[in-house]
Amino acid sequence: MISEKIIEKASKILKNNNIQSHELDAQLILSNIMNVKREHLIINNKAHISKKIKKQYDIAIDRRIKKEPVAYIIGKKEFWSENFEVNQSTLVPRPETELLIYKVIDYFKGKKIHILDIGTGSGCILLSILKELNDSRGTGIDISLKAIEMAKINSKNFNLLNRAKFRVFDINKYNIGKYDLIVSNPPYIPSADIKNLSKDIRNYEPLVALNGGTDGLDLIKKVIYKSNHLLKREGLLALEIGNGQYREVFNILKHQGYREINKEYDCNQNVRCIISTKVKYF
């Protein structure tokens, strides 16, 4: 069969199953199975597809019909111009998280710093920062062993094993070192709102990395409180937060002696990231 026809058929099936990114998903899945770039597949749209590949493709498309994220189907997600390996023990990296990375890299450009990433998941935040800050090093912690194993794989893939360490740790029990920068994309979705998430997220992404408790702020508070003891003087705390949480998080930070340096808005004009520094020590 011809690749163009196979993609057209798969795209139509996905569209009929209410998947908005149907054409892109059909292309990404086939290019991954064929181990070629999507652009190569588009240019060579008359390529012959073997029965073996077609069978693998049909299975993968069936998984997508059931709303499994493409990132889990192909085992990777592009983030900060790199392909990060992911699985269902890690959140799928999202573009809005890159907003946080842009700001901290700009702030620490040319400096040698020590970084802590709380709830590291696939390691995408820490590794992306280390990729840009060549003299820096960092530690990523997560309560999930499987997530930490995935982060270590990504660290190896990007030749960062010598500058990045990943450890299984509960944030409440972590008291190692002092840091110039603490970053975190903690769970921030209120428990009652989990049921309203799309099936892609609700049925496949790890609940422990999504559920922020009754008001969505449980883990955000823990990160802020823990940072009181782990941040160096004049160090930065960079947090990703959920929609409508800015005012409450701002007040918590202020009460804990932090001063906001910057806030970043997503494409919907929601404050997505808060960057602050500790100015008061109790």
User: What is the CATH class of 88-278?
Assistant: alpha beta
Alpha carbon distance 75, 80 (integer Å): 17
pLDDT confidence of residue 282? 58
Tokens standing for residue 99: 């907003």
State residue 190's pLDDT score: 87
Q: Tell me which H or E stretch contains 236.
A: strand 231-240
The domains of the chain are located at 3-66, 88-278
State the pLDDT at residue 3: 86
pLDDT computed for residue 44 by the predictor: 78
**H helix and E strand count, the chain:** 11, 9
| 3-66 and 88-278, same CATH topology | no
pTM of the predicted model as reported, rounded to 2 decimal places:
0.92
**Residue-wise pLDDT tens for the chain (282 aa)?**
788 899 999 999 999 999 999 999 999 999 999 999 888 888 877 888 899 999 999 999 999 999 999 999 999 999 999 999 999 999 999 999 999 999 999 999 999 999 999 999 999 999 999 999 999 999 999 999 999 999 999 999 999 999 999 999 999 999 999 999 999 999 999 898 899 989 899 999 998 888 898 899 999 999 999 999 999 988 999 999 999 999 999 999 999 999 999 999 988 899 999 999 988 765
pLDDT of 41 reads 83
Q: What is the pLDDT of residue 281?
A: 65
CATH number listed for the domain at residues 3-66: 1.10.8
Query: Comparing C-alpha atoms, which of 117, 121, 174, 116 is closest to residue 146?
Result: 121
Strand partners, 32: none
Residue 229: per-residue pLDDT = 92
Please give the Cα distance from 277 to 282 (Å, whole number).
14
- The pLDDT of residue 2: 85
